[in-house]
Chains A and B, each alone.
Chain A
Amino acid sequence: DAGITQSPRHKVTETGTPVTLRCHQTENHRYMYWYRQDPGHGLRLIHYSYGVKDTDKGEVSDGYSVSRSKTEDFLLTLESATSSQTSVYFCAISDRPNTGELFFGEGSRLTVL
């Protein structure tokens, strides 16, 4: 498996609290992505990064922000969590932009009460 870890793996929080999910990679891949997975919706892109301090919005970016200050770390922040953000979040990395294999992390299950 590619060297990619997500933390925390499980989190329960309350509506209105901030939450940060961390993705850490040891592959030195330039491209990193955050997806959320919900039943019936597949994998939907939240934000992605093409390098340090180079990020862009995906199809479901409202309510989320990201930061990438180092190649190896990509942080996803929910500024004020809502119940609709209860989901499984996957980080993915790639060495090619959008036409190469995505290596996924193990996922972070977030429950917002």
Chain B
Amino acid sequence: GENVEQHPSTLSVQEGDSAVIKCTYSDSASNYFPWYKQELGKRPQLIIDIRSNVGEKKDQRIAVTLNKTAKHFSLHITETQPEDSAVYFCAASTGGRRALTFGSGTRLQVQP
């Protein structure tokens, strides 16, 4: 089955800096790559997703890039703010009856 690896496991940045979280996946048939944000004590929530026919997608301060050849995708957060502090999960899916496989998570801390 699919295997998703996520790095780093923890990331600390100063407010206003950029943060990058990287994921690799194993199944070349995967075609859907979402990112979820989980604030402390809360449920995970989708923040952005990308499909395999697109190389990059942006939504305000966040962007995701996908390199299908190398089988990796990344989350970029610019101008970080304290409210960006959370655990971020990447995931991958081939669709159909193959459910999403999540990475192990990255704890991002934005220092004011």
Contact = CB atoms under 8 A, between A and B. Distances in A.
A78 interface: no
A43 B43 contact: no
Contacts of B94: 98
**Which bracket fits the contact residues of B?**
20 to 34
A43 B99 contact: no
A98 B32 contact: yes
A98 B1 contact: no
B104 A90 contact: no
Most buried by A among B49, B100, B101: B100
Contact of A42 (B32, B89, B96, B97): B89
B44 A98 contact: no
Interface of A: 33, 35, 40-45, 48, 50, 56, 58-59, 90, 97-99, 101-102, 104-107
